[in-house]
Amino acid sequence: MRTNKSVAMNKRMSIVFSFLPLVILMAIAYVWPVAAVVRGSFFDGGGRFAGFANYADVLGSYYFWDSLLFTFKVSLVSTAISMALAVILALALRERFAGRKLALFISQYNLSIPRMAAAMMMVFLLSQTGLLSSIVHKLGLTRSVGDFPWLVYDAKGVGLIIVYVWKFFPYIGLSALGMLQGASREYEQQAATLGAGKFKRFFYVILPAVVPAIAVSSILVFAASFGDYEVPAILGSPQKRSVSVMMYLKYVDPDMRDRPEAFAMMVLISIALVAVIVAYYRLTSRGARRRGL
Partner 1 sequence: MSYLEMTGVTKTYRGAEGPVLRDFELSAEKGEILVILGASGCGKTTALKIVSGLERQDSGRVVLDGGVLDGLPPEKRSTAMVFQKSLLFRNMNVEENLSFAPRLGCATEPGIKIARLRRGRPLFGGRLTPRSELRRKTDEMLELLHLEGFGKKRVTELSGGQEQRVSLGRALMAQPKLLLLDEPLSALDSGLKWSLLAHIKELGGKLGATMLYVTHDQKEASAVADRIAFLHNGAITRCAAPYEFYSRPSSKPEADFFGWENYIPAEKTGARVHCALGDFDIPGARAASGQALLCVRPEAAVNIGAGGIRGVVASVAPQGLETLYEVVCAGARLKLAINARHAFGAGEEIAFDLDAGMVWAI
State the residues that interact with partner 1 by CB under 8 A.
186-187, 189-197, 199-200, 203-205, 208, 290-293
Q: Between 211 and 246, name the residue whose CB sits nearer to partner 1.
A: 211
- Residue 25's alpha-carbon distances to 13, 17, 20, 22, in angstroms, are 19, 13, 8, 5
Shortest Å, Cβ 90 to partner 1: 18
Q: Between 102 and 194, name the residue whose CB sits nearer to partner 1.
A: 194
Shortest Å, Cβ 188 to partner 1: 10
Q: Between 188 and 261, name the residue whose CB sits nearer to partner 1.
A: 188
Q: Between 214 and 265, name the residue whose CB sits nearer to partner 1.
A: 214
- List residues bridging with 49 in a β-sheet: 43
Shortest Å, Cβ 83 to partner 1: 18
CA dist 29 and 22 (Å) reads 10
Instruction: Output the 3-class SS for 94-163.
Output: CCCCCCHHHHHHHHHHHHHCCHHHHHHHHHHHHCCCCHHHHHHHHCCCCCCHHHCCCCCCCCCCHHHHHH
Q: Between 10 and 190, name the residue whose CB sits nearer to partner 1.
A: 190
Shortest Å, Cβ 212 to partner 1: 10
Shortest Å, Cβ 291 to partner 1: 5
Confirm if 151 and 158 have CB atoms less than 8 A apart: yes
